[in-house]
């Protein structure tokens, strides 16, 4: 796992010396306390503005387990990580993430759960549409909460237990991934893009990704301009597994305060938009863009942010 300026060689000797210094002796700082976790999370920050940590407990078959994790990332964020070529490998695509659990999970099932979870979390975020060369997410399961005579969680032996673990891991990974977007370089808004009514999950995910990476959509969000035409244009630019019928497409803003959504496009026809209310919704720090394709039953979510002047400044000055 590495991060920083691409092409710069890591000072491995210095890193190894630092690990040894932090691991032994009276001045060691590594450990299981929250302070130790926070120091570790801060240690691999680059342009991040805050350390990103999460922890939770969950129950499978009446037994309680724990999960904890940390990640980093704020810019050059658009992961597209896939399963390893060999069973001993790890997921690759500069976002770094590490998740740990005390559940005992068979290696094949742990890999299967991670692949599923990453696709619906870290592979569903974008700050600037730029994929790094070395994004990495790992999950470690030490089985400390499981007695020696108890069987591992395995998708073939106990599909229901595995499904529960997989969904817990997915939800946890999504929480961590969203922290990266909330810390996006120069971001002023956290935006959930929901695409529904697609023929396949891949179709829904592709459309959500396209909207989330559109520079025109992201700059309109920063300018608090309810320009739904840019959302529709991004939607229509993605080839789908079934023909898109424009007369079935709906676009709306969904406020996060529980009030009713604001329709912008209904069955392909523009709505008379209440610009005052649209401004109120889009000026919030959190908002949702919802697109209904009307040609299927599958859905997907993506999390993104706006493009601000500060983003340009941060990346224009990155090496200076």
Both 231 and 263 in one domain: the answer is yes
Both 59 and 43 in one domain: the answer is yes
Both 156 and 215 in one domain: the answer is no
Catalytically annotated residue among 29, 33, 47, 94:
94
| CA distances to 110, 203, 236 from 212, in Å | 29, 14, 14
Q: What is the pLDDT of residue 88?
A: 39
H-run or E-run covering 140:
strand 136-141
**SS3 per-residue string spanning 171-233:** HHHHHHHHHHHHCCCCCCCEEEEEEEEECCHHHHHHHHHHHHHCHHHHHHHHCCCCCHHHHHH
* pLDDT by residue, tens only, the chain of 320 residues: 667 777 778 888 998 988 888 877 777 777 778 888 898 899 888 889 999 999 999 999 999 999 999 999 999 899 998 776 544 344 433 799 999 999 999 999 999 999 999 999 999 999 999 988 889 999 999 999 988 788 899 999 999 999 999 999 999 999 999 999 999 999 999 999 999 999 999 999 999 999 999 999 999 999 999 999 999 999 999 999 999 999 999 999 999 998 999 999 999 999 999 999 999 999 999 999 999 999 999 999 999 999 999 999 988 886 65
Both 201 and 307 in one domain: the answer is yes
Q: What is the pLDDT of residue 85?
A: 55
Q: Do the domain assignments include residue 19?
A: no
Q: Do the domain assignments include residue 155?
A: yes
Q: Do the domain assignments include residue 14?
A: no
Q: Do the domain assignments include residue 13?
A: no
- Interatomic CA distance for residues 115 and 89, integer angstroms: 12
Domain of 128: which CATH number?
3.60.70.12
Q: Which two tokens stand for residue 298?
A: 């599958």
Both 76 and 113 in one domain: the answer is yes
H-run or E-run covering 262:
strand 262-266
Q: Could you count the other beta carbons within 10 Å of the beta carbon of residue 236? A: 13
Both 167 and 44 in one domain: the answer is yes
Q: Does the annotation flag 94 for ligand binding?
A: yes
Map residue 313 onto helix, strand or coil.
Answer: helix
List Cβ neighbours of 287 (8 Å cut-off, separation of 6 or more). 189, 190, 191, 192, 253, 254, 255, 256, 281
Both 299 and 165 in one domain: the answer is no
Q: What is the pLDDT of residue 43?
A: 87
Final residue belonging to a domain, choices 130, 156, 182: 182
Q: Does the annotation flag 3 for ligand binding?
A: no
Both 148 and 270 in one domain: the answer is no
Final residue belonging to a domain, choices 182, 200, 232: 182
Q: Do the domain assignments include residue 10?
A: no
Q: Do the domain assignments include residue 4?
A: no
Final residue belonging to a domain, choices 182, 207, 222: 182
Q: Does the annotation flag 115 for ligand binding?
A: no
Q: Does the annotation flag 38 for ligand binding?
A: no
User: Does the active-site annotation cover 94?
Assistant: yes
Boundaries of domain holding 236: 190-316
Q: Does the annotation flag 152 for ligand binding?
A: no
Both 200 and 173 in one domain: the answer is no
Domain of 257: which CATH number?
3.10.20.340
Both 172 and 222 in one domain: the answer is no
- Our count of domains for the chain comes to 2
Both 91 and 196 in one domain: the answer is no
CA 77 to chain centre: 9
Q: Does the annotation flag 320 for ligand binding?
A: yes
Q: What is the pLDDT of residue 86?
A: 44
Q: Do the domain assignments include residue 17?
A: no
Both 45 and 172 in one domain: the answer is yes
């Amino acid at each position: 796992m590495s991060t920083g300026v691409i092409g710069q060689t890591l000072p491995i000797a210095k890193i190894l010396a630092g690990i040894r210094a932090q691991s032994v002796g009276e001045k060691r700082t590594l450990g299981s306390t929250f302070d130790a976790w926070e120091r570790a999370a801060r240690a691999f920050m680059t342009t991040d503005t805050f350390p990103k940590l999460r922890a939770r407990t969950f129950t499978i078959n009446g037994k309680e387990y724990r999960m904890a994790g940390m990640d980093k990332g704020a810019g050059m964020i658009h992961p597209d990580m896939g399963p390893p070529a060999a069973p001993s490998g790890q997921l690759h695509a500069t976002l770094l993430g590490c998740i740990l659990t005390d559940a005992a999970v068979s290696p094949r099932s742990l890999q299967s759960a991670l692949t599923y979870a990453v696709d619906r979390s870290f592979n569903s975020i974008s700050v600037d549409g730029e994929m790094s060369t070395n994004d990495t997410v790992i999950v470690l399961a030490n089985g400390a909460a499981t007695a020696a005579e108890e069987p591992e969680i395995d998708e073939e032996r106990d599909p229901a237990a595995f499904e529960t673990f997989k969904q817990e891991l997915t939800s946890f990974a999504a929480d961590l991934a969203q922290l990266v977007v909330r810390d996006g370089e120069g971001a002023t808004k956290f935006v959930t893009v929901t695409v529904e009514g697609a023929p396949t999950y891949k179709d829904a995910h592709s459309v959500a990704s396209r909207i989330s990476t559109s520079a025109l959509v992201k700059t309109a969000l920063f300018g608090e301009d309810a320009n739904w035409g840019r959302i529709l244009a991004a939607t229509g630019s993605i080839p789908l597994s079934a023909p898109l019928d424009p007369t079935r497409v709906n676009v709306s803003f969904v406020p996060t305060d529980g009030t009713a959504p604001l329709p912008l496009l209904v069955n392909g026809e523009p709505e008379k938009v209440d610009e005052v209310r649209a401004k109120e919704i889009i000026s919030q720090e959190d908002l949702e863009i919802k697109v209904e394709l009307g040609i299927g039953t599958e859905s997907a979510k993506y999390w993104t942010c706006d493009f601000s002047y500060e983003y340009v400044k941060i990346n224009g000055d990155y090496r200076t």
